[in-house]
């Protein structure tokens, strides 16, 4: 499954179905993913950066860099 595709399991059909697509803002390989307990945010981490994704809007959340 490409990172840009989100799939959800449907208990009624016992199959996964496409739930949405993220924008193509991920550069390079994705080394780790995590989703918060509410299923509203996803964090992806690569070699040089990380991204926070809003799964309701299917967009990257701007991060403050210090």
Average pLDDT of adjacent 10-residue blocks, the chain of 66 residues: 56 71 66 88 86 87 80
Residue 5, token pair as written in the block: 């595709």
Q: What is the pLDDT of residue 1?
A: 41
Q: What is the pLDDT of residue 6?
A: 61
Residues 6+ apart with CB under 8 A from 46: 26, 27, 28, 29, 30, 31
The whole-model pTM stands at 0.64
Q: What is the pLDDT of residue 9?
A: 63
34 alpha-carbon distance from chain centroid: 8
Q: What is the pLDDT of residue 7?
A: 63
Q: What is the pLDDT of residue 26?
A: 55
């Amino acid at each position: 499954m490409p990172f840009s595709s989100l799939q959800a399991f449907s208990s009624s059909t016992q199959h996964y179905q496409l739930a949405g697509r993220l924008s193509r803002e991920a550069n390079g390989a994705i080394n780790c993913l995590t989703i918060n307990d509410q299923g509203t945010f996803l964090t992806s981490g690569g070699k040089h950066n990380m991204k926070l994704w809003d799964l309701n809007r299917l967009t990257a959340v701007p991060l403050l860099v210090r």
